[in-house]
Amino acid sequence: MELLLKTIRTYIPLSPDDEEVVRRLFKRKIFRQGEHFLEAGSTCRYVGFIESGLVRYYTVNGEDEKTYYFSKEGAFICDNESFLPQQPSDRNIQALETTVVYMIGYRNLQQLYRELKHGERFGRLVIEQVFIAAIRQITSMYNDPPEVRYQEFLAVYSDIGQRIPQYFIASYIGVKPPSLSRIRKRLAGKR
């Protein structure tokens, strides 16, 4: 729980009473590799915080699976489009390795916002970061060629690239695995 408290402190100050509220409202859960934090068709009932491990966000359309995001230690995870209105999701969030998550449900999150001295500010700042990341990703998918998206992946996920299967990385940047191999080969030749 110390990483969660440290991360919250990057957004807002926490008094000892605030820390106690966080400890009381977040619950620890372990997801084994392959298990889902959220499955399409279900409503996202929790916001999670990854203490250790790695997850991917993906959708399935027929036989086509599209990975569109990864989260690692120190990150919050949630499908806000499902969580905020409490409606079914069309997304999946899956553990790529054993992942320890601190979870908080919708009602407890509202209580956290009320009870923490700067709780509302914390919620606003976190969702602003989610919004900016989503806009950057959408803009990149429309404007950047796959090679640039791969270089951005390397910049953002440099410390976890070896923990993610190549076919998930290919899906994330919007290409098939053979195309990713060619991109990697071209980039290696430029070094």
Determine, yes or no, domain membership for 169: no
Determine, yes or no, domain membership for 84: yes
| 134 vs 140: CA distance, rounded Å | 10
Long-range (24+ apart) CB contacts under 8 A made by 179-182 are 179/146, 180/146, 180/150
Determine, yes or no, domain membership for 63: yes
3-state secondary structure the chain: CHHHHHHHHCCCCCCHHHHHHHHHHCEEEEECCCCEEECCCCECCEEEEEEECEEEEEEEECCEEEEEEEEECCCEECCHHHHCCCCECCCEEEECCCEEEEEEEHHHHHHHHHHCCCHHHHHHHHHHHHHHHHHHHHHHHHHCCHHHHHHHHHHHCCCCHHHCCHHHHHHHHCCCHHHHHHHHHHHHHCC
Domain with residue 112: its CATH number is: 2.60.120.10
Q: Judge contact between 147 and 189, C-beta under 8 A.
A: no
Residue among 20, 42, 39, 22 nearest 31 (CA): 39
Q: Is the pLDDT of residue 35 over 70?
A: yes
Q: Is the pLDDT of residue 90 over 80?
A: yes
Please write the tens of the pLDDT for every residue from 57-78.
Answer: 999 988 889 998 999 999 999 9
pLDDT at residue 157, as a whole number: 85
pLDDT at residue 156, as a whole number: 86
Q: Is the pLDDT of residue 190 over 90?
A: no
| 97 vs 100: CA distance, rounded Å | 10
Task: Kindly state the percentage of the chain with pLDDT values over 70.
Answer: 99
Determine, yes or no, domain membership for 134: no
Tokens of 22: 């966080």
Determine, yes or no, domain membership for 78: yes
* Banded model confidence at residue 191, pLDDT cuts 50, 70, 90: low
Domain with 72, as residue range(s), is: 2-119
Q: Is the pLDDT of residue 188 over 90?
A: no
Determine, yes or no, domain membership for 90: yes
Please write the tens of the pLDDT for every residue from 125-167.
Answer: 999 999 998 898 889 889 999 999 999 998 888 888 889 999 9
Query: What's the mean per-residue pLDDT of the chain?
Result: 93
| 66 vs 129: CA distance, rounded Å | 23
Domain count, the chain: 1
Determine, yes or no, domain membership for 94: yes
What integer is the mean pLDDT of 9-38?
Answer: 97
Determine, yes or no, domain membership for 88: yes
